[in-house]
């Protein structure tokens, strides 16, 4: 039986691959350093990595601070709304018409709901809806 006279040696193939990849990596770093700017100093990948990591940490810190501020403002708004809720319970809104001498009346259901009695002081906000047509 005759075998293939061109036998592969894995260790020499691996050694050759390591050498070629090392040269390619060195060439890439040299080219990349030149592309990073026409700087007189040499490209230092470790320093570049440090700068990128530092900028990443700074950005993440700013994001978390902004998120914390947003949450704080939202909690303040919710707290203020909760404090004003009891005031909404004491409000009433209804439609009525202006009577003689400019008088208006509060319907009985609204007076009962608000607990109003004769002589109680109330504040009235007037928003005209429509004018009575003259016939």
pLDDT per position as a tens digit, 78-91: 777 767 666 656 67
Q: What is the mean pLDDT of residues 64-69?
A: 83
In a domain? residue 133: no
In a domain? residue 39: yes
In a domain? residue 83: yes
Return the biggest CA–CA distance within the chain.
Answer: 127
Q: In total, how many domains does the chain have?
A: 1
In a domain? residue 128: no
- In the structure encoding, which two tokens stand for residue 89, read together? 């319970």
Task: Please tell me which of 24-33, 82-91, 104-113 the model is most confident about, judged by mean pLDDT.
Answer: 104-113
In a domain? residue 109: no
In a domain? residue 117: no
State which residues form the domain around 52. Answer: 12-88
* Predicted model pTM: 0.33
CA gap 132, 97 in Å, rounded: 9
Q: How far is CA 126 from CA 93, 94, 133, in A?
A: 11, 11, 19
In a domain? residue 123: no
Residue 110 or 41, more confident: 110
CA gap 64, 124 in Å, rounded: 47
Q: What is the mean pLDDT of residues 43-65?
A: 83
What is the average pLDDT score of the chain? Answer: 77
In a domain? residue 2: no
């Amino acid at each position: 039986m005759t075998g293939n006279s061109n036998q592969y040696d894995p260790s020499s193939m691996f050694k050759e691959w390591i050498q070629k990849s090392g040269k390619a990596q060195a060439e890439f770093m040299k080219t990349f350093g030149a592309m990073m700017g026409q700087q007189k100093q040499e490209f230092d990948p470790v320093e570049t990595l440090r700068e990128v990591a530092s900028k990443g940490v700074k950005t993440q810190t700013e994001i978390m601070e902004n998120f914390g501020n947003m949450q704080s403002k939202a909690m303040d708004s919710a707290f203020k709304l909760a404090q004003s809720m009891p005031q909404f319970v004491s409000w009433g809104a209804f439609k009525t018409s202006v009577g003689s001498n400019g008088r208006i009346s509060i319907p009985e259901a609204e007076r009962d709901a608000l607990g109003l009695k004769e002589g109680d002081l109330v504040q009235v906000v007037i928003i005209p809806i429509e004018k009575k047509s003259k016939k």
